[in-house]
Structure 1
Amino acid sequence: MTTTLPDVSHVLPLIEDAVMAPSMHNAQPWRFVFRPDTGVIELHGDPGRAMPHADPDHRALHLGCAAALFNLRVSATWAGWEPVVRMLPDDGSPWLLATVSLRKADEKDTERALAALHPAVRRRHSSRFPFREEEVPPALLDGLRAAALLEGCRLAVPAAWHTETVLGLIHDSEHREEMDPGVRAETVAWTHSGTPEGQVRPDGIPAYAFGPKQSGRGGAVRDFGRSQRVPGRGWAAFERRPQIALLGTSGDGPEDWLRAGQALERVLLQATADGLVTSMTSQPLEWPELRWTVRDPGAAMSRVQMVIRLGYGPQGPATPRRPVAEVLDVR
């Protein structure tokens, strides 16, 4: 019995979907290598797109690459392939984060839940705009918790006191960033004034995706225009009680980060499929002295990997993506 291997024409749309994943400051820190002889796609981290001040251990880089890996899994399954993933397959190559072997799947082997998320891959965008004061139904939150569990992670919806604690830590981290020239310079380097009509960069956060400035007490939204003047950018009141969820793991090494990144994207795609809009902030997680206080000390989750804001509101705009030719090598 012969095994059907994919060719480049099969792989290109998978990578096009993979790169729609979120990443810190939209740096898109991934590279893919396709080996036609074996049908294997390699996922590599790109240290040239790392952030040594805000992400010195490359935790966020791993999360972003793993989110792209999850999109690849969704796209491959939707296209009728069975993706077999090995994480960190070579101890001697720390930037080789995962390999994905593709083989034609029998209908009975298709992960229908993965394939069902495919329409959300292109619809998911971070929304840094105010959400409505409307609670997310418990049934949807349960579905998001289940999505995280499927990837070996936990999603916790904090109580009111815990939410206030996290919001306070977000505000604290904003002030710390203002006082740290290295971190501030990295944020400025990855933000720019491109417009949807005249996009000048294929990465980073353009000004049109900043959202409005927050009037009154800040919420759970990272303000990428905090330290720069953006003509025409207005003010808005954000939700008084942001609904947030904490994605976490029991460990805190590269494999845990890769699981968390896949769980993050699974949660975001499920939320999008459920009609929710989302944004993320990792600001308090970028400071070791703050990160440990984000978790609930009475919960089983020992390491928080991302703070996710959930709700109902305007969809965020699509941010630029690097062309596949820049991120894919065929060898």
Structure 2
Amino acid sequence: MTTARLDPDIVARLVGDAVTAPSMHNAQPWKFVFRRADDVMEVHGDAERAMTRADPHHRALHLGCAAALFNLRVSAARHGLRARVHLLPDDSQPWLLATAAIGGVPGEDQELAALHTALRRRHTSRFPFSDEPVPDALLDGLRSAARWEGCRLTVAGDWHLDTLLGLVRDAEHREDIDPLVRAETAAWVSPAHATSGERRDGMPAEVFGPRSSAGSSAVRDFGRDRSMADRGWAVFEERPQLALLGTPTDTRADWLRAGQALERVLLQATADGLATSMTSQPLEWPELRWTARDPLDAMGHVQMVLRLGYGPQGPGTPRRPVADVLEIRD
């Protein structure tokens, strides 16, 4: 039997970094099991935190868990370790999404370690961005970050941007008239501030951002159905800078690669001084998701739409305690 090299404190730190990842409605749909016998971390999806209406095939759940997996890789590198990942290791356990054998010398993973400082600075910003364009050099770096994880990132041109903004409006209308979707979203939204309640997941009031004074924007409005006198109004950018992250095919393994690419792009953007948010509304409707892709681009399937720019980082969302999501087995 292999002698375990990691003590529980290090394991808890790795998971504490992992769970800073974004997830749909901040549901945090992950569980971690650390096997001390062989220093392997298992990453499981949590079926009880799945969105059965907006994410019936669990694509978004896979993205969130994979983003947490990428953070685990970053944290391991920061601690002088390497996480060797195996996606979907056991067909008989569909909720076991990945394993990561942790140990050894990080070597080429030093580039991952450099992203560690961005882990806790990365927050989704639902505030207006300036009209200052993101320099091509930074966009090239984000494209490279996606390629590192086997994915593709493209920036929407003028006509494609108009299409995407139209899809956002269409998705919002569909949500407005679907009581099941609205109820599901409402279950993860809290009108209270995170500091005033005990809830450690979901969307507290301080992350809603201001209302758009010009109608629909590329930012999901989690407070649309709630009256909040102190929330305020603001003018959002008329032509947001949107980038699409995609994969050639659309398998579960693709979703897990895309989730890791998503987090790598987000962390690199944060390190570069950019603010980010995700515009996933059109991707939650199958009939709209296909339309989101650029037919002139080689990207086969859009996995996420990102909003990039310069503006406030936005407040952090609450996180479940490590003890609630981590099990250590001998």
Q: Do the two structures share a fold, i.e. TM-score over 0.5?
A: yes
Alignment match, 1:256: 254
Q: In the TM superposition, what is the alpha-carbon distance from 1:111 to its structure 2 partner?
A: 1.3
- SS at 1:292's partner residue? helix
Identify which of 161, 165, 168 aligns with 1:167.
165
Aligned identity (percent) is: 65
**Counterpart contact for 1:42–1:99, Cα < 8 Å:** yes
User: Could you tell me whether the CA contact under 8 Å between 2:4 and 2:36 is conserved in 1?
Assistant: no
In structure 2, what is the equivalent of residue 75 of structure 1? Answer: 75
Aligned residue type for 1:233: R
Structure 1 CA distance, aligned partners of 2:287 and 2:218? 19
User: In 2, are the aligned partners of 1:22 and 1:67 still within 8 Å (CA)?
Assistant: yes
Match of 2:274 in 1: 276
Q: Deviations over 1:194-240 (max 9, x none)?
A: 32431321000111100000011422100001112223111110011
What displacement does 1:284 show? 0.3
User: Cα deviations across residues 130-159 of structure 1 (Å, max 9, x unaligned)?
Assistant: 001100000000000000000000001011
1:138 aligns with 2:150: no
2:103 partner amino acid? R
- Name the structure 2 match of 1:27: 27
Corresponding letter in the other structure for 2:178: D
SS state at 2:111 partner: helix
SS at match of 1:182: helix
**Matched ranges for 1:168-247 at <5 A:** 168-247=166-245
SS in 2 for 1:192: coil
Q: Superposition RMSD on alpha carbons, in Å?
A: 1.1
Distance apart, 1:48 and its partner CA: 0.1
Secondary structure class of the residue paired with 2:119: helix
Q: Given residue 128 of structure 2, which amino acid in structure 1 is its aligned partner?
A: P
CA positional deviation for 1:7 = 2.1
Detail structure 1 runs of 4+ shifted over 3 Å in the superposition.
none
Amino acid corresponding to residue 41 of structure 1 in structure 2: M
Aligned partners of 1:190 and 1:151: how far apart in 2? 30
Q: Indicate conservation of the 8 Å contact 2:3/2:37, yes or no.
A: no
Q: Which AA in structure 2 matches 1:13?
A: R
Q: How does 1:278-297 map to 2 (within 5 A)?
A: 278-297=276-295
Letter in 2 for 1:105: V
Q: 2:46 aligns to what?
A: 46
Deviations 1:159-200 (A, max 9, x none): 111011001100100000000011100110000023243132
**Offset at residue 241 of structure 1 (A):** 1.0
User: What's the counterpart of residue 91 of structure 2?
Assistant: 91
Are the counterparts in 2 of residues 147 and 263 from structure 1 also a CA contact under 8 Å?
yes
Kept in 1, the 8 Å contact 2:45–2:65? The answer is yes
CA distance in 2, matches of 1:92, 1:189: 31
- Distance in 1 separating the partners of 2:158 and 2:110: 36
C-alpha distance in 2 between matches for 1:103 and 1:271: 28
Cα distance in structure 2, aligned partners of 1:144 and 1:57: 28
Whether the 8 Å CA contact 1:280–1:307 is kept in 2: the answer is yes
Give distance in 2, aligned partners of 1:27 and 1:81. Answer: 29
TM-score (norm. length: structure 1): 0.97
Q: For residues 325 and 197 of structure 2, what CA distance do their matches in structure 1 show?
A: 19
- Structure 1: state its 5+ residue gaps: none
Contact 1:194-1:201 at 8 Å conserved across structures: no
The corresponding residue for 1:121 is: 119
Counterpart-to-counterpart distance in 2, 1:4 and 1:78: 19
Given that 2:3 and 2:38 are in contact with CA atoms closer than 8 Å, whether structure 1 keeps it comes out as no
Partner of 1:320: 318
2:263 is matched with which residue?
265
1:125 maps to a residue whose letter is: H
Shift of 1:3: 7.0
